[in-house]
Amino acid sequence: MKKNYENKVKKYYANMAKTMKAASGLYKIRLELINKYITSESIVFDAGCGNGIYTVPMSNKAEKIIAVDFSQEMLSEFAKSIEKQNLKNITLVQGNLLNLSFKNNYFDMVTCFSTCYYIEAFDSVIKELNRVLKKGGLLILDCGISHSLNALYSKKRFKVPQFFVSNKKLKHTLNVCGFDIVEERTFEIIPRVGINILKKGLDLIICNKMVDELISSMPILKYFSFRRFVVCKKR
Ligand SMILES: C[S@@+](CC[C@H](N)C(=O)[O-])C[C@H]1O[C@@H](n2cnc3c(N)ncnc32)[C@H](O)[C@@H]1O
């Protein structure tokens, strides 16, 4: 069963390797979070790096980056941009996030964007990311929350296995795996689908915040918003 679902995810991403690109204001939010916490001495692990749309901008800010994905097609595309831009501090590794070959307590920072929801064993992946981080090191990740409109929409729309978590499970798992939450941000009470004007409206900035975040973080609504960005520190 496990291999079967992983093979479906791999196949899905093999077909997207050439076309996957940065979309929407959420790209800027991820970069904002990276820039806030990365230092020139950081040894960073980009977990589920895809074709490198977040890893590449990190490369001139960090000491060294190791980027892992299980899709050979994604890594081949990524390798082309590394060569084209002559980036020297990124190492690509093909591997599964559930079974990493890195030693304990090695990285200063782990980023894991739009990837956790393709892994059934959420607690196992968080445990593994904790293992490779140094004490005090930071994990920046985003997750899909199960009781949200977008979770329903995504399951119907995308023909790939997806595993969303409840707010309770997210907090509980991070805690039992040895993380303290440092910062949490909430987006996508409304799925980012359909007419462009809606997407542009959600990306508008008012009082230094995206409209999407302003609405999605409101009391009560925030429990039904889809995307949670979490920055957490290894205890
Ligand atoms: C939506 S893409 C995100 C890529 C990149 N982080 C980004 O935000 O652009 C999800 C990536 O996770 C990878 N992936 C999913 N499950 C994985 C696993 N168990 N081990 C390694 N990579 C995995 C897929 O191959 C795919 O490239």
- pLDDT tens digits, 178-206: 999 999 999 999 988 766 778 888 999 99
200 C-alpha vs ligand 1 centroid, how far in Å? 26
Q: pLDDT below 50 — which residues of the chain?
A: none
53 CB under 6 A from ligand 1? yes
CATH architecture of 2-234: 3-Layer(aba) Sandwich (3.40)
Helix (H) or strand (E) holding 199: helix 196-203
45 C-alpha vs ligand 1 centroid, how far in Å? 13
96 CB under 6 A from ligand 1? yes
What are the tokens at 213? 């975040």
97 CB under 6 A from ligand 1? yes
Q: For residue 2, what pLDDT is reported?
A: 61
Over the Cα atoms of the chain, what is R_g?
17
49 CB under 6 A from ligand 1? yes
142 C-alpha vs ligand 1 centroid, how far in Å? 12
161 C-alpha vs ligand 1 centroid, how far in Å? 12
45 CB under 6 A from ligand 1? no
- What residues have CB less than 8 Å from 75, skipping those under 6 apart? 49, 69, 92, 94
84, with CB counted inside 10 A (0-12, 13-18, 19+), is: exposed
